[in-house]
A and B are shown apart, each in its own frame.
Chain A
Amino acid sequence: MSEILIKNASVCDPAQGINCEAMDLCIRDGKIVESVSENAKVIDAGGRLAMAGGFDGHTHSAGKINVGRFINPNDARKNLVPGLSGQVARTEKTRAQVGYNTPNTYAIGYRYAKLGYTTICEAAIPLLAARHTHEEFKEIPILDKMGLSLFGSNWQVMEYIRDKEPEKLAAYIAWGLKASRGYGVKIVNPGGGEAWGWGKNVSGLYDPVPNFDVTPAEILMGLAEANERLQLPHSVHVHCNNLGKPGNYATTIETMKMFEKVKPSRDRQSLHVTHVQFNAYAGTSWRDFETGAPMVSDYVNGADHLTFDLGQVIFGPAVTMTADGPVEYANSRMLHEKWSNQDVELEDASGVVPLFYSPKSFVNAVQWAIGLELALLVKDPWKVMFTTDSPNGGSFVNYPEAFTYLMSAKKREQVISGFSQMALDRMVLPGIDRELDFYELAVMTRSTQSKIYSMPEKGNLKVGSDADIAIYDLIPGQVDPSAEHEKVKKAFSGTAYTLKDGEIVVKDGEIEATPKGRVYWVNAKVPETVDTAMQKDIDFKFKKYYTVSKSNYMVEDAYLTKPVEIDTEGVF
């Protein structure tokens, strides 16, 4: 039995409505408890800010990121955020580290932990390549991990939707999650991945997918129905059609509206829209491009069925990586950049393209503003998950910098002062004076995640929750985040302590211990008759079209470190 008493912390835990109150936290055997014995090891927080461990609900940290590393060896030596990037020699406690946007697996674990993050959700697992994602998970130390499996351009999915077989569709989703050991349903540019199989794209929600006689709208509704039928812990997680195109805010709002009629099967949203910054563009071309954030925020403020994350842009080099194959090709041609592509048979597409966000580019400046506008114009922080869609909008190691944008209008003004008049004319950010406090920041970086992924043991400090805790070296009340944003950035860049399951993994910004984290996956129960009927269909797919055997497709137990199986009961 191991016990820890964290004394005199300034606790910020929105799940319990606690807003920077002086409290003690008790830990026994990795969980938060009511009280501990006198033998407990004592950590004196000295009035410093304590939150539940951070939870990155949408990051590209295992699988596709390897393509990013592979084509950008020059990223390894980039050291733009000292202490959280660049080449670091091995120590007795840590493996060697490299990189900035595409760090090696060890660096990902250590650096998230230094930021006080303890859980990450990989945003895209191709079913056929799922084993690879889990191989990387195994080598990411400290963090708990989960991933979202791709279904949005899958042949079997599209056929079941076209043929109106909702039960078999649900059975297939359950099987796909099991095969890939995934946590939820990810839909990227629905139908677009299949169109990209022929070098084409879909133009919107009602543009039929070539050869499959379904529309993106039907794919979305079909998958949402299956998702709720299986009572999955997370809603469908949607990367909308038309990403990255001026005028796409309309498609985004249309997608959101469509989900008004979807009834969630659990106490959570029925739709999560991801990296909305890339999908909140107004204008008709790059010439008259402008922010669409006010329109999107207006809609979100009046809706209560959805959540979203930002995809905030960080100036400097980034690497875009997405299952949205056609977008990456277009990026590479427009920017004259390297282009990697990996279409996955019967399932999806993907691409990787490095790019550079410059404050001198009016488009990039407006993109930067849109992310912040969304965060600040949407009134309820419980609808918002903070992300940079790392490393698409920028590397996660810049989160502390980004937090200062959210917490300090002065800091924003500093950045904005470098923009061109044209950029300023296309954004509304300069007129926004809202500044988030620590409580709202905690909501966007922990509490929302816990809620939208139905993970009650994560992202909060309730009795019974995992003792994943971040203590930051600042005393709320003695620091004015608006004026002293540099202090905030410094504190969030390296915790005083990060605890993972009650173990000190970071102390004074340095790695102390590197335990292995868990992997969460969802096993949704489906009636045997439905499952058998569905298996027949996929047996045919494997026999005729896949290039691997069905038995070799399933990710074996050997690939999961400390697996946690989340069971749900499908309703048929």
Chain B
Amino acid sequence: MPVIKDAVCSLCGSLCDDITVTVEDNKITKIENACILGHSKFVGMFEHDRIETPMIRKEGELVPVSYEEAIEAAANILVNSRRTLSYGWCSTSCEAISKAIQLAEETGSIIDSTANVCHGPSALAAQEKGAPSATLGEIKNRADVLIFWGCNPVHAHPRHMSRYSSFSKGFFTEKGRKGRKMVVIDVRKTDTAKLADTYVEIDQGSDLLLITALRSIVNGHADVVPETVAGVSKAEVMELAETLKNAKFVCVFFGMGVTQSRSKYKNGDGVSSLISDLNQHTKAVMIGMRGHYNVTGFGQVATWETGFPMAIDFARGYPYYNPGETGANDVLVREEADAAIIAAADAGAHFPQKAVRHLAKIPVIQIDPYANPTTEIADVIIPAAVVGIEAEGTAYRMDAISLRMKKLIDSKFKTDEEIAKDLIAKVRELKRGA
């Protein structure tokens, strides 16, 4: 019975690559090293609501069809559209993303990733100030002060703290957790906060005030900081600033609590500036806690192929980028899109109601291994193999290190990459016919 070592877990942005998988009769029977979330993805995939066959909605009902019919129906939607939104492409491989981008280019579509509803503001922040970062091993081997800001790895990235951060032991950090100071900044005492040495509770939406206060203190202007900032006493902020300045190596891990709170990308922008300021005194870096296992990969591939990490509008044949105008939710809320591809993501469950209402009105092509709320409003449904289990391919960890995901078992389903290629071929054929 084959045992596959060093498999990459395709669940969260930690992308643990030390998973041992036992396969019997083309079924995964044993998983070692994975966390509970990863484990449930590896073994739970059979219990999920798999889409068993391609389907087309006819007179309101989903009717099973062949892959060929579904691809043709989807391609027909695309060639007749003036403004298609292609959304998702994060729980899939870089190879599939590359083909999805080419499809968007050839059909003059908009393509956007799930960053639109999570770490998109981190990209905007980097475009203001850059992204002073490091690979996770730098944290493991060097960091003595860690801040988790607006993120909760205990639940979202269960092995993060043992593999890369709080509890990990490395070359200069032999003592592991004992040698590290762990700070959590959040609006409520999360399970991660319970593990921290210091928990700083801030008022909802006041991140930028605290970041700015920290910067002012670090830069020698403590006098401009009032007695209370963001619901935190000046003394506490001063103490935190001292902790940071006196560290050997600081890492700020930030999550959606930072990127999606009131000041959005200006928070990430501020953290980036704080990191730069701290480097006048010590060594400091920042890393975004990315959720979907390959949302970082979408940003990477899109950036080298189009110049931009997300929200790319190919209407004029060349890439145009302007989140706020060309993001998935922007064009849905404004009811601009006249067709949509939702792939390897669930817009139906995660978008605001107004966006979902518009999706329900237009032709929607879903590409996904699993049925989900998007399926309910989709007109063409193309089932896909599960990447990282039934298909190989590349994914990027939250620190932009790429790893090759293995194929562990065979599948009757086409991969996302094959589906995107088929769509490109069919679109070309239909255009030539026209």
Direct contact of A and B (CB under 8 A): yes
B179 proximal to A (CB < 8 A): no
Contact B6 A76 (CB under 8 A): no
A75 proximal to B (CB < 8 A): yes
**In the complex, A197 Cα to B249 Cα: how many Å?**
8
Binding-face segment, A82-90, A418-426, A494-502: A82-90
B234 proximal to A (CB < 8 A): no
Which residues does chain B contribute within 8 Å of A340, judged by CB atoms?
126, 130-133
**In the complex, A346 Cα to B141 Cα: how many Å?**
9
Produce 1/0 per residue, A316-335, CB < 8 A to B. 00000000000001001100
Contact B105 A105 (CB under 8 A): no
| Partner among B141, B299, B320, B321 whose Cβ is within 8 Å of the Cβ of A345 | B141
Contact B98 A139 (CB under 8 A): yes
Binding-face segment, B163-171, B255-263, B352-360: B163-171
A69 proximal to B (CB < 8 A): yes
Which residues does chain B contribute within 8 Å of A70, judged by CB atoms?
123, 126-127, 131, 299, 303, 309
A134 to chain B, nearest CB (A): 9
B308 proximal to A (CB < 8 A): yes
**In the complex, A199 Cα to B134 Cα: how many Å?**
12
**In the complex, A62 Cα to B276 Cα: how many Å?**
26
Binding-face segment, A275-283, A388-396, A549-557: A549-557
| Partner among A97, A104, A128 whose Cβ is within 8 Å of the Cβ of B304 | A104
| Partner among A96, A102, A345, A353 whose Cβ is within 8 Å of the Cβ of B319 | A96
Produce 1/0 per residue, A534-549, CB < 8 A to B. 0000000000111111
| Partner among A102, A131, A139 whose Cβ is within 8 Å of the Cβ of B307 | A102
B408 proximal to A (CB < 8 A): no
Interface size band for A: 35 or more
**In the complex, A306 Cα to B45 Cα: how many Å?**
59
| Partner among B106, B283, B307 whose Cβ is within 8 Å of the Cβ of A90 | B106
B58 proximal to A (CB < 8 A): no
Contact A132 B300 (CB under 8 A): yes
Contact A131 B279 (CB under 8 A): no
Which residues does chain A contribute within 8 Å of B164, judged by CB atoms?
547
A261 to chain B, nearest CB (A): 33
* Known A90-B317, A338-B130: A105·B305 in contact at CB below 8 Å: yes
**In the complex, A67 Cα to B131 Cα: how many Å?**
9
* Known A544-B170, A548-B17, A549-B18: A76·B141 in contact at CB below 8 Å: no
Contact B305 A106 (CB under 8 A): yes
Which residues does chain B contribute within 8 Å of A62, judged by CB atoms?
304
Contact A87 B318 (CB under 8 A): yes
Contact A131 B404 (CB under 8 A): yes
* Known A103-B307, A132-B300, A548-B17: A197·B319 in contact at CB below 8 Å: no
B161 to chain A, nearest CB (A): 13
Which residues does chain A contribute within 8 Å of B136, judged by CB atoms?
345, 547
Contact B171 A544 (CB under 8 A): yes
* Known A89-B316, A339-B132, A544-B171: A72·B127 in contact at CB below 8 Å: yes
**In the complex, A78 Cα to B112 Cα: how many Å?**
23
**In the complex, A544 Cα to B176 Cα: how many Å?**
12
**In the complex, which of the residues A73, A98, A155, A198 has the most CB atoms of chain B within 10 Å of its own CB atom?**
A73
Contact A345 B308 (CB under 8 A): no
**In the complex, A552 Cα to B316 Cα: how many Å?**
40
Residue of B nearest to A99 (CB): B307
**In the complex, A339 Cα to B132 Cα: how many Å?**
6
B400 proximal to A (CB < 8 A): yes
**In the complex, A374 Cα to B400 Cα: how many Å?**
38
Contact B133 A342 (CB under 8 A): yes
**In the complex, A337 Cα to B132 Cα: how many Å?**
12
Produce 1/0 per residue, A151-174, CB < 8 A to B. 000010000000000000000000
Residue of B nearest to A134 (CB): B402
B293 to chain A, nearest CB (A): 14
Which residues does chain A contribute within 8 Å of B135, judged by CB atoms?
128-129, 342-345, 547
Produce 1/0 per residue, B282-293, CB < 8 A to A. 111100000000
**In the complex, A346 Cα to B94 Cα: how many Å?**
26
Contact B5 A551 (CB under 8 A): yes
Contact B306 A104 (CB under 8 A): yes
B12 to chain A, nearest CB (A): 15
- CB contacts under 8 Å to B, within A118-164, are 128-129, 131-132, 135-136, 139, 155
B158 proximal to A (CB < 8 A): no
Residue of B nearest to A556 (CB): B404
**In the complex, A103 Cα to B305 Cα: how many Å?**
9
**In the complex, which of the residues B272, B306, B396, B403 has the most CB atoms of chain A within 10 Å of its own CB atom?**
B306
Residue of B nearest to A140 (CB): B304
B390 proximal to A (CB < 8 A): no
A448 proximal to B (CB < 8 A): no
**In the complex, A548 Cα to B137 Cα: how many Å?**
9
- CB contacts under 8 Å to B, within A267-307, are none
Which residues does chain B contribute within 8 Å of A69, judged by CB atoms?
303-304, 307-308
Which residues does chain A contribute within 8 Å of B129, judged by CB atoms?
338-339
**In the complex, A339 Cα to B400 Cα: how many Å?**
17
Produce 1/0 per residue, B107-142, CB < 8 A to A. 000000000000000010011111111111110111
Residue of B nearest to A95 (CB): B105
| Partner among A106, A198, A353, A556 whose Cβ is within 8 Å of the Cβ of B142 | A198
**In the complex, A67 Cα to B126 Cα: how many Å?**
10
A103 to chain B, nearest CB (A): 7
B223 to chain A, nearest CB (A): 23
Residue of B nearest to A551 (CB): B6
B403 to chain A, nearest CB (A): 5
Contact A545 B300 (CB under 8 A): no
| Partner among B106, B131, B141, B403 whose Cβ is within 8 Å of the Cβ of A71 | B131
A179 proximal to B (CB < 8 A): no
- CB contacts under 8 Å to B, within A339-357, are 339-346, 352-353
**In the complex, which of the residues A88, A99, A131 has the most CB atoms of chain B within 10 Å of its own CB atom?**
A131
Contact B300 A66 (CB under 8 A): yes
**In the complex, A75 Cα to B307 Cα: how many Å?**
9
- CB contacts under 8 Å to B, within A188-210, are 196-199
Residue of A nearest to B309 (CB): A70
| Partner among B6, B18, B319 whose Cβ is within 8 Å of the Cβ of A98 | B319
A558 proximal to B (CB < 8 A): yes
Which residues does chain A contribute within 8 Å of B126, judged by CB atoms?
70-71, 338, 340
Which residues does chain A contribute within 8 Å of B320, judged by CB atoms?
87
Residue of A nearest to B15 (CB): A548
B35 to chain A, nearest CB (A): 15
**In the complex, A87 Cα to B17 Cα: how many Å?**
39
B8 proximal to A (CB < 8 A): yes
Residue of A nearest to B286 (CB): A341
Contact A139 B171 (CB under 8 A): no
Which residues does chain A contribute within 8 Å of B8, judged by CB atoms?
552
Contact A199 B307 (CB under 8 A): no
Contact B318 A66 (CB under 8 A): no
Contact A129 B304 (CB under 8 A): no
**In the complex, A353 Cα to B163 Cα: how many Å?**
31
Which residues does chain B contribute within 8 Å of A136, judged by CB atoms?
304
Which residues does chain B contribute within 8 Å of A97, judged by CB atoms?
318
Contact B163 A129 (CB under 8 A): no
**In the complex, A436 Cα to B282 Cα: how many Å?**
49
B82 proximal to A (CB < 8 A): no
Which residues does chain B contribute within 8 Å of A67, judged by CB atoms?
131
**In the complex, A65 Cα to B300 Cα: how many Å?**
11
The 3 A-B pairs with the shortest beta carbon distances in the complex, nearest first, are A345-B137, A89-B317, A199-B283
Q: List 24 A-B contacts (CB under 8 A).
A: A70-B126, A70-B127, A70-B131, A70-B299, A70-B303, A71-B127, A76-B321, A90-B318, A96-B314, A98-B306, A104-B304, A104-B305, A104-B319, A131-B394, A338-B128, A338-B129, A342-B134, A345-B135, A346-B141, A546-B137, A548-B401, A549-B5, A549-B6, A552-B17
Chain B positions within 8 Å of A, measured between CB atoms, are: 5-6, 8, 17-18, 94, 98, 102, 105-106, 123, 126-138, 140-142, 163-164, 170-172, 248-249, 272, 276, 279-280, 282-285, 299-301, 303-309, 314, 316-321, 392, 394, 396, 400-404
Known: A139-B304, A545-B140. 7 other contacts (CB 8 A): A71-B130, A87-B318, A131-B394, A547-B136, A548-B403, A552-B8, A558-B404
